[in-house]
Structure 1
Amino acid sequence: MQFIDFDTLPSKNALANLAQTPFDLTSDDALSEERLETYVCSSAGFDLLYATQRIDDNVLDSLQQMVDEAGLIEKFAAMKRGAILNFIEGFESEQRQVLHTACRDLFSEAPLCPEATEAAREELDKLKLFLDKLANRELVNSQGQPFNTIIQVGIGGSDLGPRALALALKPFALDGRSARFIANVDPDDAAEVLREVDLSRTLINVVSKSGTTLETLTNEILVRRALEDKGLNPSHHMIAVTGKGSPMDDPSRYLASFYMYDYIGGRYSATSMVGGVTLGFLLGFDGFMEILKGANEVDIASENPSIRRNISLLMAMLGIWNHNLLGYATCAVLPYSQALSRFPAHLQQCDMESNGKSVTRSGTAVRYKTGPVLWGEPGTNGQHAFYQLLHQGTEVVPAEFIGFRKNQYEQDVEVEGTTSQQKLLANLLAQSIALATGRQSDNPVRSFAGNRPNSILLAEQLTPRTLGALLAIYENRIAFQGFCWNINSFDQEGVQLGKVLAGKILAHMVADSKKTAQKKEGSSTEEVLLKVAKII
């Protein structure tokens, strides 16, 4: 398998030439009926409407050429089959497989990486048994009452993905079940959650692959003490999701234990036991399996070599066109669904921790832009916040809208002839067209330049299955872009420096605490900062 730097791909020059005169979305009849019908890509229950991107057939053909030159489908297929792709040539690195797709490759008689998929099956069997015991009331609290709440204690990938999915799927929760999350080491985060639940009927799901994550271990101790203060035995309430052999892999301390594996990165782990335990508790085992089915459908569709028939690949290459060729620094993900309120936050980690890299796979400095800044909020709230900049600001921000034809609860009201859901979709479509076409006026304050590229991901309804598909669309888009930029999307060394320095600062704080106990007086913040300056 050959890895090639982005700026040496032959198609790069052709695309650079095309970028000098990109398609003008503000021209007369730019969004013709033919264009709107042609520039649609469909799979796994989603339609990608991309006529409002600044592309034409010549650009798409050149992007297809780039896909082929960079071997993106070959690399993606190799990833799914267990190739070691988490590496930097010639330098110490994690040297691991990348197999989050194996967690959902469960619906074929011939999984692509049998060993990893069998490990996922074993954990799913354990989860099903555990959930059945809860449902049959074989597992109850000390008063014989069923558990009705689960709190997931984790941070980063052990929080963001599962939290986003759990919030998005609340309408599909089993009767009486709820999920809460504690991530921040800020004690107020835990205090707020703990005061709002009945701890006697609550399960605590502690998630840490290494079993040594400082924020998670601190919060675990805080929660354990809260249980003990209520006269509850923590080992009858706490669940562990961790790596085999980690300090948390201790059955005496937990009601149940599930494993996560080092070939699944934290930000890609929502479809593993990292998300499975909490989502299974909330939705039931079948609900979690629906998420996996949707993700697996997209994983299969993502091996289609045609950019026009592969949503994840097309989104990846449109992103590269906007970022590397047209020079736009950021990307806004704008779900027109309140249920997806935390989905952009999950994508921020998944995308920026994956592709926020400045070193190629050969260990040399990149000579081109890699991952964009990704951000977003749900519409229509965002329209009354930052859309002013999207329409008339000096920064052009490519936008990715996400919408659904039907709302989740299917409860709505008709006002002035249309329902709320119709108003929501009308706003989505209007924003997409307005960004693309703009509007000219004699009053400069009321002029809109247009040519703001965007696309729409549209599905029938946000369900466990479509959410699994949506998750995988973005996960695979991120992988394709990383392969095209020839960077390692599967490590996160940039996270480590802050952790190391925080550890040193904490050591000084411990020393200062001891001195304070002796002197009966505190050291100032300034003194701590001076010591930190010496550390750095």
Structure 2
Amino acid sequence: MINWNNLDTLKSYNELKNAASVNLVEAMTGANGAERVKKYSVPMAAGLNYNYAAKEVDDNILSALAALADEAQLTDKYEALYNGEVINTGEKRMVLHQLTRGQLGKDVVADGVNKREFYVKEQKRIADFANKVHSGEIANAKGEKFTTVVQIGIGGSDLGPRAMYLALENWAKRTGNFKMEAKFISNVDPDDASAVLNSVDVAHSIFILVSKSGTTLETLTNESFVTDALKKAGLDASKHMIAVTSETSPLAKSDNYLEAFFMDDYIGGRYSSTSGVGGAVLSLAFGPDVFAQFLDGAAEEDKLATNKDFLKNPAMLDAMIGVYERNILGYDSTAVLPYSQGLSRFPAHLQQLDMESNGKSVNRFGEPINYVTGPVIFGEPGTNGQHSFYQLLHQGTDIIPLQFIGFKNSQLQNDVNIQDSTSQQKLCANVAAQIVAFACGKKDDNANKNFEGGRPSSIIIGDELNPKSLGALLAHFENKVMFQGFVWNINSFDQEGVQLGKVLAKKVLAHETDGALAEYSKLLNI
């Protein structure tokens, strides 16, 4: 039987509070550090490795975290999730994003439909459509091939798919899998849509409108913007646009689209990159086979997350170390630092994934909780971040845990040797140096040059950023967020916090305002 209890009621949590802390400077200096790097590492899917040697943990703390994970029934709750129990208590829904890439448990039936079969059917429909676009069977009015795909969506309909596209663009170009350039329109600011439309040949562009409900204000506004541009170019907008939506939305059977592909309410926007939301744009950009590899990597990582052995479950390890840092050590932020230009927008995706999921102050039953939950997530690719906010990370008053991501090889594999090392070697040297610099610091009599160290970090290392490793990376963080939500006894799968602003914005546009809202409306000339 599964018990949903608040973190501060768990016996193992109170025992964790009494665990002796780790002096990270001592632990990571000299031979001790070398041994830790070898010891504190666990394989992930697709050739990735999660190394947590530079975290403030030891065998004693890891044992306490394992006990907490066991008492919180994390693997049981994950099993309940992928077997179709109602985990999203706020909206009284199942949570099925893992089912888009593989089946871990029993058949899940909802609304009279086998959901795995439904997701596979939509993937096949998208694959068939993408292949016809690539072959020219589906073309513009003049019979010319589409060369660009533009996704119109916001939040999870933009951040995840955009991050995934950028992550694979260079790899696809090198390996011959680049089919079409992809662009993204998300912000309701007209400058966003204008800039994208000015950068493409609309006559050879196909547009994907993504809205599960079919009523998202920003997305429908941008659709009208695009439709107007197509009409001004003398083009039939309905021959240039497809929809990704739910079967019950007003977009589902509209004549305004070449085709409609379906998702459902059991997949939240920030978890939708492996559904049709990411599938349509990635299959058009790189081909269905590449998207299938991406799904395979995610499915492999999902399977690892079922492991009841705490030390062999990378997502659970990452999650529990994060809980220790947040709730015991009191760290309120986490920096995600990918040393790969392909992952330039991955931190932005993780901002939504983590903060929209676990930015909650009531438990899954709507009751106030007395402990902190999700951290602030931010990040930037290395080495850019080193010349930006690393000053605060190294010598600021707050200790901010770090999550590095690094790859041994670049995607384009087009490098030069300068001063006895390649650019990729310089990149990897920087991430290795930063981990040790943060952990060990450097003593100096000049206070401005003194580094106290003791700044914890982990790193996910792989050979190359490719579709399979990207899928594994995505699933790792999705499962990390899920496990942390379970520990905190919150609902990681609704997002009521984004609704209030939308409601008030509609009142402003309808001129139904008073008080401060009316005055701000006047200031902005609305």
Normalised to the residue count of structure 1, the TM-score between the two structures is 0.93
Is the Cα contact below 8 Å between 1:157 and 1:268 reproduced in 2? yes
* Higher mean displacement: 23-32 or 362-371: 23-32
What is the CA–CA distance in structure 1 between the aligned matches of 2:430 and 2:303, rounded to whole Å?
A: 33
Q: Which residue of 2 aligns with 1:113?
A: 108
> 1:67 matched to which residue of 2?
69
**Alpha-carbon separation, structure 1, partners of 2:31 and 2:509:** 59
Structure 2 equivalent of residue 249 of structure 1: 252
Within 5 Å, give how 1:4-403 maps onto structure 2: 4-18=5-19, 21-26=21-26, 28-29=29-30, 31-44=32-45, 45-87=47-89, 93-105=90-102, 113=108, 115-171=114-170, 172=172, 174-175=177-178, 177-403=180-406
Deviation at 1:8, TM superposition (A): 1.0
Q: Hey, what's the Cα distance between the residues in 2 that align with 1:259 and 1:25?
A: 52
Equivalent residues, number: 512
Report the CA distance between 1:136 and its aligned residue. Answer: 2.3
How far apart, in 2, do the equivalents of 1:243 and 1:118 lie?
16
The aligned counterpart of 1:502 is: 505
The alpha carbon displacement at 1:526 in A equals 9.3
Q: Is the 8 A contact 2:210 2:243 kept in 1?
A: yes
Q: 1:111 Cα shift?
A: 6.1
How far is the alpha carbon of 1:472 from its aligned partner?
0.2
Q: Percent identity?
A: 50
Q: Secondary structure at the match of 2:480?
A: helix
SS at match of 1:18: coil
Q: Indicate the larger mover: 127-136 or 364-373.
A: 127-136
Cα distance, 1:17 vs. partner? 1.4
| Cα-to-partner distance string for 1:73-130 (whole Å, 9 max, x where unaligned) | 100111111110000xxxxx31000000000016x8x765372110111101211221
- How far is 1:43 from its partner? 2.0
Offset of 1:134 from its aligned partner?
Answer: 1.3
1:344-366 Cα shifts (integer Å, max 9, x gaps): 00000000000000001222101
SS of 1:245's partner is coil
User: For residues 356-505 of structure 1, what are the structure 2 equivalents within 5 Å?
Assistant: 356-505=359-508
1:316 partner letter: A
Map Cα deviations across residues 463-515 of structure 1 (whole Å, 9 max, x no partner): 01100000000000000000000000000011111011001011018x99xxx
SS at match of 1:96: coil
Q: In the TM superposition, what is the alpha-carbon distance from 1:378 to its structure 2 partner?
A: 0.3
Preserved contact between residue 329 and residue 397 of structure 1 (Cα < 8 Å): yes
The alignment partner of 1:85 has SS state of coil
Q: Give the Å deviation of 1:132.
A: 2.0
| 1:34, distance to aligned residue in structure 2 (A) | 2.1
Q: Is the 8 A contact 2:81 2:95 kept in 1?
A: yes
CA distance in 2 between partners of 1:268 and 1:477 (Å): 13
Name the amino acid aligned to 1:179. Answer: A
SS at match of 2:318: helix
**CA separation of 1:145 and 1:531: change in aligned 2, threshold 3 A:** closer
Q: Which amino acid aligns with 1:371?
A: G
CA contact (8 A) 1:23 1:56 kept: no
Cα distance change of structure 1 residues 271 and 111 upon mapping to structure 2, 3 Å threshold = farther
SS at match of 1:400: strand
Paired with 1:258 and 1:200, the residues of 2 have a C-alpha distance of 22
Per the alignment, in what secondary structure is the counterpart of residue 511 of structure 2?
A: helix
Return the offset for 1:245: 1.8
Is 1:529–2:519 an aligned residue pair? yes
Q: How many angstroms apart in 2 are the aligned matches of 1:226 and 1:482?
A: 44
Change (3 A) 1:59 1:527: closer
Amino acid of the structure 2 residue aligned with 1:529: E
Judging changes above 3 Å, is the alpha-carbon distance between structure 1 residues 441 and 201 closer, same or farther for their aligned structure 2 residues?
same
Contact 2:131 2:287 in 1 (8 A): no
Give CA deviations for 1:188-225 in whole Å, capped at 9, x if unaligned. Answer: 00000000100000001000000000000000000000
> Deviations 1:272-330 (Å, cap 9, x if unpaired)?
00000000001100000011000000000100112211110011011011111100000
Secondary structure class of the residue paired with 1:14:
helix
Moved more, 21-30 or 430-439: 21-30
Query: What code does the residue aligned with 1:420 have?
Result: S
Deviation at 1:158, TM superposition (A): 0.5
Give secondary structure in 1 for the equivalent of 2:260.
Answer: strand
Distance (Å, rounded) in 1 between the aligned partners of 2:150 and 2:490: 36
Kept in 2, the 8 Å contact 1:80–1:112? The answer is no
Unaligned runs of 5+ in 2: none
- Report the alpha carbon displacement of residue 251 of structure 1 after superposing the two structures with TM: 3.8
Cα contact 2:340–2:382 (8 A) shared by 1: yes
Tell me how far apart the structure 2 counterparts of residues 195 and 303 of structure 1 sit (CA, whole Å): 47
**Which amino acid is 2:187 matched to?**
N
5+ residue gaps, structure 1, are 88-92, 513-524
Do the aligned residues in 1 keep the contact of 2:355 with 2:377 (CA within 8 Å)? yes
Q: Aligned equivalents of 2:83 and 2:518: distance in 1?
A: 50
RMSD: 1.9
Q: Secondary structure at the match of 2:22?
A: coil
Contact between 1:331 and 1:373, CA under 8 Å: does it hold in 2? yes
CA distance in 1 between counterparts of 2:92 and 2:464 reads 40
Decide which moves more: 190-199 or 303-312. 303-312
How far, CA to CA, are the matches of 1:161 and 1:111 in structure 2?
28
Cα contact 1:505–1:532 (8 A) shared by 2: no
Secondary structure of the corresponding residue to residue 205 of structure 1:
strand
**How far, CA to CA, are the matches of 1:531 and 1:326 in structure 2?**
43
Find the aligned partners of 2:338 and 2:132 in 1 and give their Cα distance. Answer: 37
* Aligned-partner residue type, residue 113 of structure 1: V
Q: Provide the secondary structure at the position in 1 that maps to 2:335.
A: strand
1:176 is displaced (CA, Å) by 5.3
* AA at the equivalent of 2:137: E
2-side partners of 1:317 and 1:527: how far apart?
A: 42
